[in-house]
């Protein structure tokens, strides 16, 4: 995604900067870079598995406590 913008002859700095920022927004470079900056890595398979087992055991404990009238 290379973006090359050259300053036109007689163009003011503010006009050039406005044109540059408009092209950057239209190209989607800024949106992509912000998305990549905050992108999180996925949880590995073993961690997901242990978390699922933990959730399942907690759910069973709560159901058991409800049946016994503790909750």
Please state the rounded mean pLDDT for residues 23-41.
Answer: 88
Q: What CA–CA distance (Å, rounded) separates 10 from 4?
A: 18
Q: Give helix then strand counts, H and E, for the chain.
A: 3, 0
Cβ partners under 8 Å of residue 11, min gap 6? 19
pLDDT tens, residue by residue, 42-58 = 889 999 999 999 999 99
Between the alpha carbon of residue 4 and those of residues 1, 27, 30, the distances in Å are: 10, 11, 15
**How does residue 38 score in pLDDT terms, banded at 50, 70 and 90?**
confident
The average confidence (pLDDT) of the chain is: 91
């Amino acid at each position: 995604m290379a973006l090359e913008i050259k300053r036109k002859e007689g163009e003011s700095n503010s006009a050039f900067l406005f044109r540059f920022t408009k092209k950057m927004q239209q190209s989607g470079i800024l949106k992509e870079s912000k998305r990549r900056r905050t992108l999180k890595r996925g949880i590995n398979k073993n961690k997901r598995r242990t978390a699922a087992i933990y959730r399942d055991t907690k759910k069973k404990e709560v159901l058991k406590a409800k049946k016994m009238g503790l909750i």
